[in-house]
Amino acid sequence: RLSSEDSEQWLEKHCILLQEFLRQDLRVARKLCPSCFPPEYNIFDFYLRSYHRCLESRLASLAKQAVANELQFRDCVALVKWTENFKSFFDRLGAEVFTQPQFNMEAERERLGLLPHFLQTDELDRLVRHSVGLISEQVWKWFKSTVEKEKHSWYQNPTGFQPERDLHTDTTYTSLVQSLSAILSEMMSDVSSKLPKHAHTQLSAAIMDKLVELLGSYSSAVREFVRDVKSEPDPSRRQMRIIVMEAILVASVNNLHKLILLVGTFYKPEDGPSDVAKVQKANLEQACQKASYEWNDFLATELLEFLQDSTFKELFTPAWLQQLEIGETEAQRIVGAVQDSYENVYKKMFPHLRSRLMNQISNRICLELLKALLQPGRQPFKEMRVAAANRLRSDAELLKDGFARWNCRADQFDALSAASELLKLSDMSMAELVVSAFLRNFPDLRQDQLEALLLLRGDCKRDEVRSILAYAFSEEEKSRRNPTARRLFADLGPVK
């Protein structure tokens, strides 16, 4: 007699022995018993019915133990598997016991009043659901342990952590992907193969659901690590940890891409559009995109904080106007800083992920420039208006060309060029047309923002500006705006 004290796979061994004993006993019953009893006794029918019902009782007892949480998840899976295996075994009785290939066990079951699956349908369904639930719980334990190990590796060597590197793609990743691959391989290939086909969808959906939870836990760990690095009191140590933080963020974004590819190797969408697992897979992809955007934003924020200290403070000041004559401009410094980060950090991302990051960075930089330009209290340019407009256009073109070579969208810098046209305009009778054109390309531009921009000229009074804008914001002009145009100004706060 085998029990859980003998082995972790005791139930598997127990069922193997049961099948072998059944095979031997039924062969003996078939060969010897009929000659020892009168034909009307139907002695082999008696044995077949007795053994079948004893097995039904044994499997039903084990199923009750499983549902009562008295069996481990692997034993529950083995029980589901062997319920199917015993059915197949009795279906093969014709060849194994009777040596009659035409033997029809289904007809024999009906004649003898036997259950076809050894368990009632509701018992089997309950067992399958319970098994899937136990597998899901076990997967979650492994997932949590994986995140904890990953997190521990970040803190174990806080100034020298190095992600893994894929030499084929020249990208980085962390051990998280390999750990998840091992877990999913066992759950989706090994364990899933022991469940009936109708349970595969349930298991896939449950594991997808746990992957979404895992992503939430992993995102929290990344967030906590970023906060910890930023709060480092020692400046030199903080700078070293920032380098590690950026490497982890890049590797983590790559992890998400690898996770989606990994799930795709196990996910089988043959159940059609109603498949719950398909919906869960879409949820996972959406969660990955959200996490990727957040981590990209951390990288962009780190770059912008550096630029805020070194570059943005001088924008649109007299010193800014003089830089064309005395050396490197702010726009050149911005492009140079982005180039350094691109080569040293961002280049280790997958190309399509890197493009998304560069899009976020270019948007953030453009917004910072617009905020600086429209900053409350900014002194009008007055006689320096034309020089400021030319300089603004030059910076916009330099930034647009710079970001375009990094394979990202750079047309948001057209907003700076359009602003320069308003500043440079000499014939104010054309202002309504220029403003209307500006609004067609950037329909989320607000009236207070345009008013602040026109007042920077230094040659317009507020009443004149509002009169110009009245036509541009009329219902007639609003109907001409491009509804699919780039949204940019909505992210800027109101100009006081």
Helix (H, G, I), strand (E, B) or coil at 172: strand
Q: Check residue 487 and give its pLDDT.
A: 76
Higher confidence at residue 314 or residue 428?
428
Confidence of residue 268 (pLDDT cuts 50, 70, 90): low
CATH class of 131-296: mainly alpha
Q: Check residue 6 and give its pLDDT.
A: 53
Confidence of residue 199 (pLDDT cuts 50, 70, 90): confident
Tokens 């109101």 sit on residue: 494
Cβ atoms of residues 203 and 219 within 8 Å? no
Cα(490)–Cα(251) distance, integer angstroms: 32
Q: Check residue 12 and give its pLDDT.
A: 82
Q: Check residue 351 and give its pLDDT.
A: 93
Confidence of residue 2 (pLDDT cuts 50, 70, 90): very low
Cα(490)–Cα(351) distance, integer angstroms: 29
Buried b (16+ CB within 10 A) or exposed e, 222-260: beebbeebeebeeeeeeebbbebbbbbbbbbbbbbbbbb
Mean pLDDT throughout 285-289?
A: 91
Mean pLDDT throughout 446-453?
A: 90
Confidence of residue 233 (pLDDT cuts 50, 70, 90): very high
Q: Give me the phi and psi of 410, to 5 degrees please.
A: -125, 10
Residue 171 has pLDDT above 90, yes or no: yes
Cβ atoms of residues 252 and 295 within 8 Å? yes
Mean pLDDT throughout 303-325?
A: 75
Domain map of the chain by residue range? Answer: 10-119, 131-296, 362-491
Confidence of residue 248 (pLDDT cuts 50, 70, 90): very high
Mean pLDDT of the chain: 83
Q: What percent of the chain is modeled with pLDDT above 70?
A: 84
Q: Check residue 453 and give its pLDDT.
A: 92
Instruction: Kindly calculate the radius of gyration of the chain based on its CA atoms and give it in whole angstroms.
Output: 35
Cα(277)–Cα(271) distance, integer angstroms: 9
Cα(331)–Cα(417) distance, integer angstroms: 14
Cα(116)–Cα(88) distance, integer angstroms: 10
Q: Check residue 93 and give its pLDDT.
A: 66
> What tens digit of pLDDT does each residue of 393-445 get?
999 999 999 999 898 888 899 999 999 999 999 888 898 889 888 888 888 88
Cα(85)–Cα(68) distance, integer angstroms: 23
CA 338 to chain centre: 26
Strand pairing partners for 164?
173
Confidence of residue 272 (pLDDT cuts 50, 70, 90): very low
Cα(66)–Cα(73) distance, integer angstroms: 8
> What tens digit of pLDDT does each residue of 32-70 get?
888 888 888 888 888 878 888 888 888 888 888 888 888
Higher confidence at residue 118 or residue 348?
348
Cα(122)–Cα(132) distance, integer angstroms: 15
Cα(284)–Cα(215) distance, integer angstroms: 8
